[in-house]
Amino acid sequence: MTNTEQTTKTERPPVITIMGHIDHGKSTLLDYIRKTNIVDKEAGGITQHLSAYEVKHIGKDEKEHKITFLDTPGHEAFSAIRERGSRVADIAVLVVSAEDGVKPQTKEALKCILEAKIPYIVAINKIDKPNADIERTKQSLAENEIYIEGYGGAVPAVPISAKTGQGVPDLLDMMLLVSEMESLTGTPTADAEGVIIESNVDTKKGISATIIIKNGTLKKGSFIIAEDSYSPVRIMEDFAGKQVEEATFSSPIRIIGWNKQPKVGTSFNIVATKKIAEEQISQFKSEPIIKKQNTKNENVIGFPIILRADRFGSMEALEHELKKLGNDKVVLEIVQSGVGAVSENDVKVAVANSNTVILGFNVKIDPGAQSLAERTGVNIQIFDIIYKLTEWLSEEISKRMPMIETEEVTGLAKIQKYFSSTKDKHIVGGKVMSGTISSGEQIKIKRRDVEIGKGKIREIQSQKVRTDSVAEGYEFGTMIESKIELAPGDFIESYKVVTKKAE
C-alpha cells in the first residue's frame, strides 16, 4: 500500500445487525435507539421505509459517532443475505432475555453470526422485569457455549432494558469500542461498493432498492449495477426519505429507477455510463434461490404454493425458511412468486393447479382476487410475521402427509393344547401372554420365533363360556381358521390393520 492510499483511508461507521429470539426485545431495542414507535405500528417490528437507518451517539470520547443499524425481519433475512456471499453487517448484537435465557431462536441467530464470521455483543435485555436474573442468564449462555467476559470467554455482555433505556448508552459505547478494535476503514475517493439489502416496487416511483455503502462515495450521474440489474443514480434518498446529492460508506441509501428488482444480498458496483452498465448485466447469468419443483414420483405428494411478499427482501427470507420445510413424503412446489398484492392472476394460476395455496406476507388481496377466490374455493392465507407463516405451513404439510396401512399388535398367546381340526378350522387351547386375544381378529402363527403362516380367530371361549376377548394371564379355547396346522408350543400374535398418517 502506498502512502497516498494510506492517507485516503478514514474511519468508517459500523453497520450493526440486532438478532435473537422473537420475544426478547430486538424491535423494542431498535425502537428505543431511534426514538420512534415502529413496534406498536407494525407487527414483527419490520420497517416499511428503509431497511436500515443511522443514529448519532456521543461516545466516551465526547465526540459524535455515526452507527448504522440494519432493520431486517431477523436471522432469516440475514441468512438469505449471507448465502449470497455478502458481508453487510460488521458487528452483531445478540439479544437475550434476562427472564428466559437462551431459546431455540437465540441458537439459530448465533449460528448465523458465527457463520458470517463477525464479532458480536450479547445484550442481556429486560433487566427491569421482576423475574429478571442476570447471573442465571449468564449461566444459560455458558451452558449453550456462549462464553461472555467473566464466564470463560471474551464476548462482551451488556445488561440493558430496551423498555426504559437503562444500559442502552453503554451498549452503544460497546458497539463503538468493538468497531474501533475491528479497525473499520474506508476510502472516500473510491467509487462506491456495497450490498443490496432491500428492493421493492412503488406504483408511483417505480423500482427502488436500499443499499449499504461499504466503501467509497456514491454520486449522482453514475450508474449502479447489481448482477443483472442496474439503475441510473438520479434519485437518492437517505434513511429519512430526504434527497441527497452524494453518500459515503456505511450510509443506507435508497436508489430509485432500476430496470428490474435487484436481489437482496447481492453486491453492487458503479460504472460511468449506461452503455457499460448494459454490457455488464448482459454477461451475467443467475439461478433462482429456490428452483420451481415438479413432483413426478408417484410416492411423493406435491404441495403447490404461490408466494406474495411486500418486498424482495421479505421474499428472500421466506424462500430461505421454506427450504427447511417439506420432507420425503410431501414436497413444496413454488408455482410462482412475486412482490405486491395477491392478484386475480394468482388465483387463476391456483385454480389451474389443484390444491394450490396462496401465501402472502405483509400484502393485501386485490378485490377481484378475493372475489374469484371465494367463488373458486382457492385458499389465501395472509401473514405479518414470518414464523407464523412457517408454523401454519408446517401444520398443512402434516395434514397432507399420505395415509399408510400399518399393523398394530393387540395380543400374544401360547398354544398349550391341540384338540382337533376340520379342513382349515383348528380347535386349540392356549394362554394369553400379553395384551388381549379377541374374536374376529387376524393372527400370525409363529413357531420358534419364525412366522409360519396367518389365520383368523373365529370363536373364543374362556372357562367354557363364549366371549368376545380374553385378557393377559387367562386361558382360553378357540377355533382358528388357517391353512397351517397349529401345534403345542406355537404362538399366535393377534393384530389389526390401521390407517394413519405417514411419519
- Percent of the chain clearing pLDDT 70 (strictly above): 89
CA nearest neighbour of 28 among 188, 170, 161, 206: 161
What are the cell numbers at 344? 386475480
pLDDT value of residue 427: 94
- By mean pLDDT, which of 30-39, 244-253, 380-389 is the weakest? 30-39
Tell me the whole-structure pTM to 2 decimals.
0.61
CA distances from 407 to 303, 433, 437, 493 (A): 28, 19, 15, 11
pLDDT at 43: 35
Q: 319 vs 432, which has greater pLDDT? A: 432
User: Which residue, 182, 161, 202, is CA-closest to 49?
Assistant: 202
CB atoms inside a 10 Å sphere around CB 365: 20
pLDDT at 285 over 70: no
Find, among 403, 401, 405, 404, the residue nearest to 302 by Cα. 401
- pLDDT for res 86: 57
CA-to-CA separations, 286 to 64, 98, 266, 311, in angstroms, rounded: 43, 44, 11, 20
DSSP letter at 44 equals: G
For 282, phi then psi, to 5°, come to -70, -20
Residue of higher predicted confidence among 426 and 286: 426
Q: Per-residue pLDDT for 174 more than 50?
A: yes
pLDDT on residue 78: 61
Determine the average pLDDT of the residues in 141-159: 91
Out of 98-102, 120-124, 321-325, 460-464, pick the least confident: 321-325
Residues 6 or more apart in contact with residue 170 via CB below 8 angstroms: 158, 160
User: Across the chain, how many H-helices and E-strands are there?
Assistant: 12, 29
Q: What is the pLDDT of residue 48?
A: 40
Percent of residues in the chain assigned helix, strand, coil, to nearest 5 = 25, 40, 35
Q: Which three cell numbers stand for residue 327?
A: 420432507
With a CB cutoff of 8 Å and minimum separation 6, the contacts of 62 are none
The domains found in the chain, sorted by start residue, are: 10-185 (3.40.50.300), 193-282 (2.40.30.10), 301-399 (3.40.50.10050), 404-501 (2.40.30.10)
Q: How confident is the model at residue 256 (pLDDT cuts 50, 70, 90)?
A: very high
* Amino acid letter, residue 483: K
Q: What is the pLDDT of residue 1?
A: 42
Q: What is the pLDDT of residues 188-210, one digit of tens each?
A: 999 999 988 888 777 677 888 88
The average pLDDT across 314-342 equals: 82
Lowest mean pLDDT among 11-25, 278-292, 359-373: 278-292
d(CA 273, CA 235): 16
Q: How far is CA 278 from CA 114, 158, 225, 229, 271, in A?
A: 37, 49, 9, 9, 10
CA distances, 322 to each of 65, 231, 242, 315, 400 (Å):
39, 30, 36, 10, 16
Average pLDDT value over all residues in the chain: 85
Find out whether 301 and 501 touch, Cβ atoms under 8 Å: no
pLDDT score for 55? 86
Question: Residue 306's CB: how many other CB atoms inside 10 A?
Answer: 24
- Pseudo-torsion of CA 370, 373, 379, 385, nearest 10°? -20
Report residue 272: phi and psi, to 5°: -85, -35
Specify the DSSP class assigned to residue 398: H
Is 50 exceeded by the pLDDT of residue 295?
Answer: no
Who's near 494: CB < 8 A, 6+ residues apart?
Answer: 409, 410, 411, 412, 413, 435, 436, 437, 438, 441, 442, 443, 457
Contacting residues for 388 by C-beta, under 8 A, at least 6 apart: none
State the CB neighbour count (10 A cutoff) for residue 70: 24
pLDDT at 492 over 90: yes
* Pick from 10-19, 203-212, 486-495: least confident: 203-212
The residue whose grid cell reads 448465533 is 110
41-57 mean pLDDT:
58
Length of the chain: 503
Cell numbers at residue 368, please?
377481484
Find the radius of gyration of the CA atoms of the chain: 33
CA atoms of 101 and 450, how far apart (whole Å): 54
Structure confidence at residue 50 (pLDDT): 58
Q: Model confidence at 45, in pLDDT bands (50, 70, 90)?
A: very low
